[in-house]
Structure 1
């Protein structure tokens, strides 16, 4: 194949067609007419000597060759995008750029308000879309360029993904302040194990598996209720004999925290800290707009983390830096299903 005859716009059309699997939607996405995109598809089929997309029961289906080409072509387009954006001036005050972020519901409660406030103050025309997904799904979406930046606990990060530690937090137990098994605001191991537990699953904010720690000690707890969001925990714990685990940084942000008491998990081993990072693909390393976003998120979390630490009477969380203006790698423990 003569590279001089390759039109980069055809690769953009290929990516849209494989993603949407519908000519009409792909054309709308690219701002093209259906006839123009159909012509591009014919050129792609000639170029690769393959149908690439065929009609199926649920719309257009990519051929085996098309599936093989998806990631390499997206990689090429991402590299071109990276090269172009490094040469484009970025002015937060005037840019109309949109960013896709990912964080858990708990993180949204804790730090998203401060992030949004700072964006509104410095970049009033910037839009953000915030979604929630598990660590593995988030990593895949970072690689596929569906997410610009993710904040959370992300062990086992794939190649070409960068991360910078933002802060650390610890897990604590939470119970109703009038819980019959509490003694001076704490609970011993026997009482802790005798209580029914609430757990959050999938837990997107923890690389710590309490059940593994207990099993290693020959202990076991009873999980009575499993919920999908941290926001449900206070209502289940309040006025009952249930106990739950949550991050210390969230305790002061839960509804009516005066009704709850937080205390250390009563096991005779040290529970590992949680390392929270911001994560992005290396294609965005030199993107001035993305660097601005990373700096804003980091500074926002300093503000939000400092306020949370002051509220709970603890030290301000340590904040990671991108040494020398570049990213730093973070290692973390493997993610588990529930806490």
Structure 2
């Protein structure tokens, strides 16, 4: 790639565009908020650099030379690209825009949020795509600030302290239930729960979540036999075994339709499970991000 020569004044590109557009020095100068004299000096500098007169006064208008006509499309297109990429945030055209949203999500989010969101996007924004990544929650917040991902959608069990430019809203709440092999239990008391062998899910790579903390507050501890990063394989592991698992109800209810499992209410108090959407503050969002947040709110909380 050949770089622009050192010392070239990029403002001269705007000078070229203005005179090409208006064919009049006074009007071109006014469009750049400089005097006609300053504009003429700048145009002469550009002529020197490019070794061509570029524009010649004929019949009262500044007519482009052959070289000016040749380079005009590239200059105009380059300015359009720069303007669009650097400064424009036009209203999001959901019917025509080909925008890829990058979302950090837990597996539970895939069960409970994305199917409805995907359906809504397919109906309202057929050229939009969703890219789901899985990473540590704190890393996802950093990547939101860096502009590498648009949103994080995931659970929150405790009140969190967020960075000053990160915002969130609750998409919905859920409760935890106990999932057991079908026919293994007829009830689930606290004693039965403590005596059982457990699978623990560490979705955000957090090993001691709200379940274990709530038991600790009661002076109790469960026996963790297997720890998994997601819930997909857990129903297969509890089939024909003595293992149980504690999951959010919405996910467990979906799994119940395809696996021989039984659900029981959790036999001790645990705070509700909140699924939240994390993003930049409203004033820092681009129009596409604002559109998708509005779709999530309309789909799940009716706003």
- TM normalised by structure 1 equals 0.59
CA gap of 1:187–1:255, structure 2 versus 1, over 3 A, is closer
Q: Provide the residue aligned with 2:162 in structure 1.
A: 157
Q: Which has the larger radius of gyration?
A: 2
Displacement after TM superposition at 1:225 (Å): 0.8
Q: Provide the residue aligned with 1:131 in structure 2.
A: 133
Instruction: Summarize the alignment of residues 142-153 of structure 1 with structure 2, pairs less than 5 Å apart.
Output: 142-153=144-155
CA gap of 1:256–1:38, structure 2 versus 1, over 3 A, is farther
CA gap of 1:238–1:91, structure 2 versus 1, over 3 A, is same
Q: Provide the residue aligned with 1:191 in structure 2.
A: 192
Q: Provide the residue aligned with 2:103 in structure 1.
A: 101
Q: Which runs of 5+ in 1 are unaligned?
A: 1-32, 41-79, 303-318, 322-339
Q: Provide the residue aligned with 1:239 in structure 2.
A: 240
Instruction: Summarize the alignment of residues 1-339 of structure 1 with structure 2, pairs less than 5 Å apart.
Output: 33=1, 35-36=2-3, 84-86=87-89, 88-154=90-156, 155-179=160-184, 182-183=185-186, 186-203=187-204, 208-254=209-255, 256-257=257-258, 259-267=260-268, 270-282=269-281, 285=284, 287-300=286-299, 302=300, 319=301, 321=303
User: Contact 1:171–1:265 at 8 Å: present in 2 too?
Assistant: yes
Distance in 1, Cα, partners of 2:208 & 2:3: 49
Distance in 2, Cα, partners of 1:116 & 1:206: 31
Q: Write out per-residue CA displacement over residues 95-120 of structure 1, whole angstroms, 9 at most, x where no aligned residue.
A: 12222111112211222122222212
- Helix, strand or coil for the counterpart of 1:252? helix
Distance in 1, Cα, partners of 2:155 & 2:4: 41
Distance in 1, Cα, partners of 2:199 & 2:97: 45
CA gap of 1:92–1:105, structure 2 versus 1, over 3 A, is same
User: Contact 2:107–2:203 at 8 Å: present in 1 too?
Assistant: no
User: Contact 1:177–1:259 at 8 Å: present in 2 too?
Assistant: yes
Aligned length: 225
The higher relative CO (CA closer than 8 Å, separation ≥ 6) is in: 1
Distance in 1, Cα, partners of 2:221 & 2:94: 52
User: Contact 1:285–1:291 at 8 Å: present in 2 too?
Assistant: no
Displacement after TM superposition at 1:158 (Å): 1.3
- TM normalised by structure 2 equals 0.66
Displacement after TM superposition at 1:271 (Å): 0.7
Distance in 2, Cα, partners of 1:320 & 1:205: 32
CA gap of 1:282–1:203, structure 2 versus 1, over 3 A, is closer
- Where does structure 1 differ by over 6 angstroms across 4 or more consecutive aligned residues? 37-40, 80-83, 204-207
CA gap of 1:288–1:226, structure 2 versus 1, over 3 A, is same
- Helix, strand or coil for the counterpart of 2:149? coil
Distance in 2, Cα, partners of 1:227 & 1:207: 13
